[in-house]
Structure 1
Amino acid sequence: MSLQETKIENLIQDGYPFQLKDYIKRGWELFKADPVNLILFGAILLLVGGLPAIFNSTWTSFISLLVAYPLAGGLFLYIDKIAHREPRTFQDFFGGFAYFKDLVLASLGVNLLVGLGLLLLFVPGIYLAIAYTFVIPFIVLGGLPFWPSMELSRRLITRNWLSFGLMALMCFMLVFLGAVFLFVGALVMVPFVYCIVFAAYEGIVEEQTEHFVELDDPVDGFQDETPTTF
């Protein structure tokens, strides 16, 4: 068992506080630190996620299944660079493809289990969909293989499942309301939701490993030491 897995196991055993208000505030700070690039990549995520609905074919569903998790992993990696005030370029958004095998296996596993859960009285699928919230961060930020990431995410989030469920409902409503407003709002809300999830991961997991970095007045006066290049 790796050191990271041991730390997560300790959180599972000992429990942890869940501070939704702090995660929303931190997520907004991270989003406002680099909104243009986050919105642009959010548009790519929306396009990929919408391919099956647009073209309604098996091939587009398969392509979306293969690339959605690597793209989401790249977004988490980019947000991590924002959080740690590291130099970044737009190409960093595609860093999730370095974890392609584990992310695709996780995508297949999560979609299969959640799909089966939805077929079985619906409730198990909702439980798993929320419980797997940290699967991608565990892979790209924690460096864990896909199955430990799935199991540790499920067990960790189960400790505070109702709180995570509230966060998931809030995030869904943000994206839904954003889509209602001529779809433009969704371009903001999708990356903002990812920032909130990252903030929750950071506050619950990374803070325990002493990697948490505060931004100095990030909302009004964030200035990255190395300018972002597009």
Structure 2
Amino acid sequence: MKKILSNKNNLLVLYEDNHIIVVNKRAGDIVQGDKTGDKPLSEVVKEYIAEKYNKPGNVYLGVVHRLDRPTTGLVIFAKTSKALPRLNKLFVDKEAKKTYWAIVKNEPNKLDDTLIHWLKKNPKNNKSVAHIKEVSNSKKAILHYKVLKKLDNYFLLEVNLETGRHHQIRTQLASIGCPIKGDLKYGFDRSNPDASIHLHARQISFIHPVNNDIIDITAPLPKDAIWDACEV
């Protein structure tokens, strides 16, 4: 796999071939356009492809999945119409293994555990609530976590999702008294200066949708003192 570092628009490309491109999203970037009208990451990637390959006209780019705006880490895009439905199927069939790192203030009661909740989204405040039992219009959410490292004032958790729900990691960790650093929406006591939260899509592995190679990519951590202390 060829690693590429692109500084255009601060875009960090971690992997690219004819069919897919994987980038390391910064905090504050939106993956796809929304009501804010801010330029989405998908458009930045299109511009990168158009310039690199001198492509005239519209550039095809399929959005495979998203990350919350204050979250950082791996985002996969499809460069061809052949790859997009196959990548989508990988995610639907849970054949893409995604690992997240989260920094929390409070130590969980258990060093590793499986959390099962039913999440209900409130579209008015764009927030999900975790319930122990199923309630109307809720969706089952399952994640697995373990404590990777104790920092001076925080704890580094590794999180693996079994389901993909709205704000799932943020909601479920907050429900056990471990809101993510900087996440005011889910109960952390103060925001980060750059409006980020300390949740990072750290690693992904999957079978390439076209050539069947094993793709395994790790996203470098954001640069700040707390993330720097997390190298394990």
Q: When the two structures are superposed, what TM-score results if normalisation uses the length of structure 1? A: 0.26
Higher relative contact order (CA 8 A, sep 6+): 1
Structure with the greater alpha carbon radius of gyration: 2
Structure number with higher strand proportion: 2
Q: When the two structures are superposed, what TM-score results if normalisation uses the length of structure 2? A: 0.26
Structure number with higher helix proportion: 1
